Amino acid sequence: MSEYRGLRRAHILANHILRSPPPSSNLSLTPEVCLQYSPPELNESYGFDIKEMRKLLDGHNLEDRDWLYGLMMQSNLFNRKEIGGKVFVSPDYNQTMEQQRQISMKRILYLLENGVFQGWLTETGPEAELNKFALYEVCGIYDYSLSAKLGVHFLLWGNAVKFFGTKRHHEKWLKDTEDYVVKGCFAMTELGHGTNVRGIETVTTYDPTTEEFVISTPCESAQKYWIGEAANHANHAIVISQLSINGTNQGVHVFIAQIRDQDGNICPNVRIADCGHKIGLNGVDNGRIWFDNLRIPRENLLNSVADVLSDGKYVSSIKDPDQRFGAFLAPLTSGRVTIASSAIYSAKLGLAVAIRYSLSRRAFSVAANGPEVLLLDYPSHQRRLLPLLAKTYAMSFAVNDLKMIYVKRTPETNKAIHVVSSGFKAVLTWHNMRTLQECREAIGGQGLKTENRVGHLKGEYDVQTTFEGDNNVLMQLVSKALFAEYVSCKKRNKPFKGLGLEHMNSPRPVLPTQLTSSTLRCSQFQKNVFCLRERDLLERFTSEVAELQGRGESREFSFLLNHQLSEDLSKAFTEKAILQTVLDAEAKLPPGSVKELLGLVRSMYALISLEEDPSLLRYGHLSRDNVGDVRREVCKLCGELRPHALALVASFGIPDAFLSPIAFNWVEANAWSSL
């Protein structure tokens, strides 16, 4: 068997050569003593299967995601550049606003030609929706302008037609929307009203003589504002407007209006202006719209909930205007789901870049003449980045869970989706902004270059805390929903069911007075603290509101006065919901290194959340000693996660080309020869 001999020979030789000591370095001023980039992969090892971890984090449609990453990398439209021997793709932010808008549209048309949007509106069911979510997320990793433009067209315009419209609208618009024959926008927000949709001032009346609706902008504060795609590209708009029939306001309704002709000229009785240059998302053409008694056919009322007959009679299957309003807005939840998920991908991007850099950049020596220390070997640097990494992991599971509930939604789960998506949207987008800022600082001056992405993402993603509902208002909505649930269960003397409040039916958990390391890392303990905090805050909030109401104040006013408790409560609810999704994911895993790592990450998530929340100390759930124990444990966990930092960001599955030069050989990328 000469083959085996050959194998053995080569093996022995390889071992011999690789184990021989390196030649002794001479210390003259040769290039070798200059600072060299050393790839983190050389010194860090993967303690778990990063492919398995990526499967958990991305959750679904991995192959489709990879296909889309590849589509973008292989096209010159995506501003492909070779820097330091690697290929990178990211938008050129040195382009003018107009150029950015045009290139975004061209990119969309390229993706369209390759079938990326196939079935986004015409196919239904969980599989189609998850595919859409996955591809949408990948677009956002390349450029949030790209995904925001897609979001306007498919999730706002397209979904409005799909959910508010009936058969005649579906047949007329959905396929054409998917093929970009029609370019849609969504005109809801006005100068004077944003999150408070019910207050919008645009008015639509009905003219039975011509069987047309007449849309008008009665005052300057009623101009439609921030309407994505309106400034340049959209030719049709969903118009959200009050409907006035014979002088009676029937509340907010949804209409379709054509705003440009096929050649792109603005239609008569429509005026459009540009919102101008923004702190980010300049690839999106946000515009303002005024309607000067614009006439549209009667069929253009999206009539799934209410209709106006040809003679002008108003009919609706839902009599109560409040419920009708709720029915109108319920389908828009998908926007919040995608915002929350893209926020987490943005945080992943920032962390992947900052952590890779911190594993290759050194600063200061601890001992005189000693080697400079790797950034991530400083406990303080670990403390800055690793808790944010753990939170990003936890929130990644949370948003996957939300997506699954959303795609399998039923009328019974609508309320839970509404409440949970509100909380997640707010908490996850805030988390992203905070993470990006920390990552930008952690990269130092290099973070200021748009080429390195992280700093610039702050401007791009900032709007997430505002659109589809201001974060603060959404959090108040969570507290109000919990209040309503509490009052209703107490009144009817029924056990709690849903929204994760079932723990309220059991006796209050008792926390141990001494917190050892193993107690702090125990999932049952962590769950108990989170439940106790939520329960206590909910009871305090409801009793405070009830007390004020007892003194004759209105419920709304009582909420207002208790805004601090409301804020604590909604945060406690959301953080507990997030923790629960990690525990659920962990429970499904077989024993092994992935599960172990996830356990560490979960403990870090739980303990950093406790460390950062003064309400535990304020209301006496944790003692001063306890809080000190938590703080020490966070530091210990930082040290334990440190060896896994590279593997944890590698598991994000974001291809190198979508990170940035600073995440790789930044010496070569900045060398004179690379100019």
Residues identified as active-site: 468
Assign 3-state DSSP to the chain and report helix, strand, coil percentages, each to 5.
60, 10, 30
Structure tokens at 548: 């004020």
Could you give the CA distance from residue 418 to residue 617 in angstroms, rounded to a whole number?
A: 31
Q: Is 228 annotated as a binding residue?
A: yes
Cα–Cα distance list, 631 to 216, 378, 638 (Å):
58, 17, 11
Taking CB under 8 A as the criterion, the residue among 42, 367, 510, 675 binding other proteins is 42
Could you give the CA distance from residue 82 to residue 14 in angstroms, rounded to a whole number?
A: 34
What is the number of other CB atoms lying within 10 angstroms of the CB of residue 674? 14
**Closest among 501, 502, 504, 529 to 515, alpha carbons compared:** 529
Between 45 and 517, whose beta carbon lies closer to other proteins? 45
Q: Is 127 a binder of other proteins (CB under 8 A)?
A: no
Between 115 and 507, whose beta carbon lies closer to other proteins? 115
Q: Is 41 a binder of other proteins (CB under 8 A)?
A: yes
Q: Is 671 a binder of other proteins (CB under 8 A)?
A: no
Cα-atom radius of gyration of the chain, to the nearest Å? 28
> How near is the Cβ of 60 to other proteins at its closest, in Å?
13
Between 73 and 245, whose beta carbon lies closer to other proteins? 73
Q: Is 13 a binder of other proteins (CB under 8 A)?
A: yes
Q: Is 39 a binder of other proteins (CB under 8 A)?
A: yes
Amino acid letter, 245: I
Between 432 and 660, whose beta carbon lies closer to other proteins? 660
Specify the stretch interacting with other proteins by CB under 8 A; choose among 82-90, 281-289, 340-348, 402-410. Answer: 82-90
Between 18 and 587, whose beta carbon lies closer to other proteins? 18
CB of 165 within 8 A of CB of 192?
Answer: no
Between 22 and 552, whose beta carbon lies closer to other proteins? 22
Q: Is 363 a binder of other proteins (CB under 8 A)?
A: no
Q: Is the dihedral of CA 328, 400, 653, 133 positive or negative?
A: negative
> How near is the Cβ of 69 to other proteins at its closest, in Å?
6
Amino acid letter, 356: R
Beta strands in 32-154 (DSSP E): 80-83, 86-89
Structure tokens at 43: 């010194």
Amino acid letter, 63: E
Q: Is 35 a binder of other proteins (CB under 8 A)?
A: no
Taking CB under 8 A as the criterion, the residue among 2, 25, 262, 518 binding other proteins is 2
Between 334 and 665, whose beta carbon lies closer to other proteins? 665
Contacts of 164 (CB under 8 A, 6+ apart): 254, 302, 303, 304, 305, 328, 331
Taking CB under 8 A as the criterion, the residue among 325, 656, 670, 674 binding other proteins is 656
Taking CB under 8 A as the criterion, the residue among 32, 74, 109, 625 binding other proteins is 74
Give the DSSP letter of residue 509. Answer: P
**Closest among 600, 639, 644 to 380, alpha carbons compared:** 639
> How near is the Cβ of 146 to other proteins at its closest, in Å?
17
Specify the stretch interacting with other proteins by CB under 8 A; choose among 17-25, 282-290, 489-497, 581-589. Answer: 17-25
> How near is the Cβ of 5 to other proteins at its closest, in Å?
9
CB of 386 within 8 A of CB of 638?
Answer: yes
Q: Is 331 a binder of other proteins (CB under 8 A)?
A: no
Q: Is 71 a binder of other proteins (CB under 8 A)?
A: yes
Between 33 and 366, whose beta carbon lies closer to other proteins? 33
**Which 84-113 residues touch other proteins, going by CB under 8 A?**
85-87, 113
> How near is the Cβ of 112 to other proteins at its closest, in Å?
12
Specify the stretch interacting with other proteins by CB under 8 A; choose among 63-71, 191-199, 347-355, 486-494. Answer: 63-71
The length of the chain in residues reads 675
DSSP string, 533-552: HHHHHHHHHHHHHHHHHHTT
> How near is the Cβ of 61 to other proteins at its closest, in Å?
11
Taking CB under 8 A as the criterion, the residue among 44, 47, 60, 64 binding other proteins is 64
- Which residue's entry shows tokens 């040769």? 30
Contacts of 155 (CB under 8 A, 6+ apart): 136, 334, 335, 338
Specify the stretch interacting with other proteins by CB under 8 A; choose among 417-425, 544-552, 592-600, 650-658. Answer: 650-658
Could you give the CA distance from residue 414 to residue 411 in angstroms, rounded to a whole number?
A: 5
184-187 and 224-227 beta bridge pairing: unpaired
- Write the binding mask 307 to 326 for other proteins: x where contact by CB under 8 A, - elsewhere: --------------------
Q: Is 7 a binder of other proteins (CB under 8 A)?
A: yes
**Closest among 448, 447, 457 to 356, alpha carbons compared:** 447
- Total residues interacting with other proteins, rule: CB under 8 A: 35
CB of 227 within 8 A of CB of 185?
Answer: yes
Q: Is 69 a binder of other proteins (CB under 8 A)?
A: yes
Containing 226, the helix (H) or strand (E) segment is strand 224-227
The binding site for other proteins (CB under 8 A) comprises: 2-3, 6-7, 9-10, 13-14, 17-18, 20, 39, 41-42, 63-64, 66-67, 69-71, 73-75, 82, 85-87, 113-115, 655-657, 665
Residue numbers in the known binding site for FAD are 189, 228
Residue numbers in the known binding site are 189, 228
